Amino acid sequence: MGAIGNAEWTGVRLSDVLDAVGAPDASDLFVAFTGADEVDVEGEEASFGVSIAMDKARQPDVLIAWAMNGEPLTPEHGAPLRMVVPGYAGVRSAKWLIRIEVRDTPSDAPIQAHDYKLFPADVTSDTADWSQGLTINAMPLNAAICVPGSGESLPAGEVRIEGYAIAYDRRVSRVEVSVNGGRDWQQATFTDDPEAHWGWRRWTLDATLAKGRQHLVVRAFDETGQGQPERPDTMWNFAGYLCTAWHHVDVLVE
Ligand SMILES: Nc1nc2c(c(=O)[nH]1)N[C@H]1C(S)=C(S)[C@@H](COP(=O)(O)O)O[C@H]1N2
Ligand SMILES: [Mo]
C-alpha cells in the first residue's frame, strides 16, 4: 500500500548552493545526498544515501526544499530540509538532509548501489550483479484510473471515469479510455494545465456502461507519440520496477 500526490515546493536551487560554495562543475561528477536516518537494505543497516549526476543536479527545478504547499516541511516529508528531484524516482529526493557531497563516483550507500536498479528478464535476485543494473532515475510515462475503484458496483448508464496521466519532462498528448477491455477507445478530457511539467494531468471521461462485468482500461501517449506497453509481462523484472502497462479496472454494472 502507498499514497502519492503532487505538491508545490519551496526551497533554494541546488545549483545556486553548489555555485555559492564553489563546487566543481563537470558532467562526469555526481552530487550525493545523505539523510539523518538509517535504512535496512537486505539486512545491511546504513545511512540513507543516494546521488544524481551533475547535469541533473544543475537543472533549475532541482531544489533543497524547506516548505511544501506553502507550509514548513513536516517530519514525515523530510524536515528541516529535503531534496526535490523532479522527474526522477522518489528515492533520489533524500529527506532529513544532513550532507551534500560532490563526488567522482555515485553514492556507495546501499540504497544507491543495491536498490532501485533495473535488470533484464533473465536475471533473478540470486544472479543479479548489482553493479551491472540500470540505475532507475527518470520515470516513464504512466496513467491510472482512480474512479471508479477496482471491484466497485455501479448503476448502468453514464458513469464518470477519472484518473491521471504523467509524462514528467514531456507533455501528455492524449489519454484514451476503453470500457470494453481495450477493443474500442475514447479520448478523455484533461482537467489540468497541459504545459505543467513534472506533475500529473488529471482527466475525466463520461462513458456509458452496459450491464454486466465491465473491463475499464486507460493508456496515455506523450508528445513524441509514444505510448505505454500493453501488458505487464513484457517488462517483467524480478524486483517489479517500472510496471507502467495499461491500467485495468474491473467493475460490476447493475
Ligand atoms: N532520508 C530518506 N529520504 C528518503 C527516503 C528515506 O527512506 N530516507 N525515502 C525515499 C523514497 S523511496 C521516496 S518515494 C520519497 C518519499 O517522499 P515523501 O514521504 O515526501 O512522499 O522519499 C525518499 N527520500
Ligand atoms: Mo519510493
Do 115 and 171 belong to one domain? no
In a 10 Å sphere around its CB, with 0-12 CB exposed, 13-18 middle and 19+ buried, how is residue 65 labelled?
A: buried
pLDDT tens, the chain, 254 aa long? 467 789 999 999 999 999 999 999 999 999 999 999 999 987 889 999 999 999 999 999 999 999 999 999 999 999 999 999 999 999 999 999 999 999 999 999 999 999 999 999 999 999 999 999 999 999 999 999 999 999 999 999 999 999 999 999 999 999 999 999 999 999 999 999 877 789 999 999 999 999 999 999 999 999 999 999 999 999 999 999 999 999 999 999 99
Kindly state whether residue 163 falls inside one of the protein's structural domains.
yes
Q: Could you say which DSSP state residue 57 is in?
A: H
Q: Which three cell numbers stand for residue 150?
A: 477496482
Nearest to 6 by CA among 176, 187, 193: 193
Do 128 and 13 belong to one domain? yes
Last residue of a domain, one of 110, 135, 160: 135
Kindly state whether residue 3 falls inside one of the protein's structural domains.
no
Do 129 and 150 belong to one domain? no
88 within ligand 1 shell (Cβ under 6 A): no
How many beta carbons lie within 10 A of that of residue 161, not counting itself? 22
Could you tell me the CATH number of the domain that includes residue 181?
2.60.40.650
Do 178 and 87 belong to one domain? no
Kindly state whether residue 4 falls inside one of the protein's structural domains.
no
Could you tell me the CATH number of the domain that includes residue 77?
3.90.420.10
154 within ligand 1 shell (Cβ under 6 A): no
Do 124 and 187 belong to one domain? no
Last residue of a domain, one of 74, 101, 135: 135
Last residue of a domain, one of 112, 135, 158: 135
48 within ligand 1 shell (Cβ under 6 A): yes
Domain count, the chain: 2
User: Whole-prediction pTM value?
Assistant: 0.94
Domain that holds residue 46: 9-135
C-alpha 24 – ligand 1 centre gap (Å): 27
Do 131 and 197 belong to one domain? no
Tens-digit pLDDT profile for residues 95-144? 999 999 999 999 999 999 999 999 999 999 999 999 999 999 999 999 99
92 within ligand 1 shell (Cβ under 6 A): no
